[in-house]
Amino acid sequence: MRKSLAAFLPAALVISLASLAKGDIIPPIGLAPGSPYQLIFVTADATVGSYGTEAPYNTFVNAEAALNPLLPSSTWYAVTGTADSTSTTDASNAYVNAPNLLVDGSYLPVYNTQGILVSSNASGGLYSGSILQPVAYDQYGNSSGGVFVWTGSNKTGEAFSEISLGHSTVELGASNLAGSLWMDHAFGNSVTSTQSLYALSSVLVSTPEPSTLVLARLGIAGLLLAARRRGA
């Protein structure tokens, strides 16, 4: 009787292959091992825009990141601007809650989960008013499909009482757009409806390890060869 490939696969590898069906996290392309960087993704799930403080949004993006153990270990911050719903003053800014960090006077490069450079020091950093490439992908490495994202901020990450989260009208970004529209695309006035968020990591360090997809392919090739030898 001919056995299926699954019969020769260890349970751990079967689980790994199942996770690959959801996508694959690709390390920063072209970044030298040992280099610091930050990672950004669009949450696969959504939340309301009615909270007037940062804490619920930070909790949400960390919970989203925890759904994928293949993500690098990090603390995650929501790219959101908020203010108490009764406030008439400027809100808490996205660039404060989720800073694009400076190292030796240079902004760290920010990559999405497909290893694509989103912003760099040369481009002025994440909150320069424009990004190089869309964030576009979620925590699994899957395309976000161009969803709207609660940001509560203008294109430079500043939040004002008229547009910040926790108010009746909130700024939305678009996950599939670059330039300024990733952050500052449209107004949403239904804050009890749910939208995705952007999540930005703390400092990460590039490693020379191959992606999970490469490892899985190598493992499958080895197991196929062993299976053939057994059947010979």
Residue 205 pLDDT > 90, yes or no? yes
Residue 57 pLDDT > 70, yes or no? yes
The residue to which tokens 């996508």 are assigned? 23
Give the Å distances, CA to CA, from 123 to 46, 53, 177: 29, 30, 16
DSSP classification of residue 54: S
Model pLDDT, residue 20: 41
For residues 182 and 135, is the Cβ–Cβ distance under 8 A?
A: yes
- CA–CA gap between residue 149 and residue 49 (Å, rounded): 10
**Mean per-residue pLDDT for 165-179?**
94
**Mean per-residue pLDDT for 159-186?**
92
What's the token pair of residue 116? Answer: 């694509």
For residues 167 and 81, is the Cβ–Cβ distance under 8 A?
A: no
In this structure, is the dihedral angle defined by the CA atoms of residues 101, 106, 108 and 110, taken in order, positive or negative? Answer: positive
Q: What's domain 28-221's architecture?
A: Roll (3.10)
Backbone phi and psi for residue 14, each to the nearest 5 degrees, phi listed first: -60, -45
Average pLDDT, the chain: 84
Residue 42 pLDDT > 90, yes or no? yes
Residue 120 pLDDT > 90, yes or no? yes
- CA–CA gap between residue 41 and residue 194 (Å, rounded): 17
The residue to which tokens 């403080």 are assigned? 53
Lowest mean pLDDT among 30-39, 61-70, 91-100, 107-116: 91-100
Amino acid at position 157, single letter = G
- CA–CA gap between residue 138 and residue 112 (Å, rounded): 8
User: Could you tell me what percent of the chain has a pLDDT over 90?
Assistant: 66
